[in-house]
Amino acid sequence: VYDARGKVIGWKGTLAISELKKCVAADPNHGLAYRSLGVAYYMLGQEKSAVQAYARFVSLAPDHKDVPKVKEIIANYQKRGGG
């Protein structure tokens, strides 16, 4: 069951990334799309790409309610030697 669930999550995450990349290509200033892209990358274990998307979200939507949590994710990644 776990393996099947992981495959479904992976497929959905891959599909989400594909669609979100189209979204940000059409509107590079769509902050929430970058937040969602970060979530999708994180789901697939692509932490570096997730943090890059999250950083873009923070720069585009600095007053969004999720920014403090996203900044915490970025800081934790950097403390572990990422970035």
- Whether this prediction's pTM lies above 0.75 is answered by yes
Q: How many CB atoms lie within 10 A of CB 9?
A: 12
Is the predicted pLDDT of residue 11 greater than 90, yes or no? Answer: no
What mean pLDDT, rounded, does the chain reach? 87
Q: How far is it, in rounded angstroms, from Cα 1 to Cα 17?
A: 24
pLDDT tens digits, one per residue of 29-83: 999 999 999 998 998 899 999 999 999 999 999 999 999 999 999 999 999 987 5
Predicted pLDDT at 2: 45
Task: Looking at 1-83, list the stretches that DSSP marks H as alpha helix, in order from N- to C-terminal side.
Answer: 2-26, 31-43, 47-60, 67-79
**pLDDT above 50: residue 1:** no
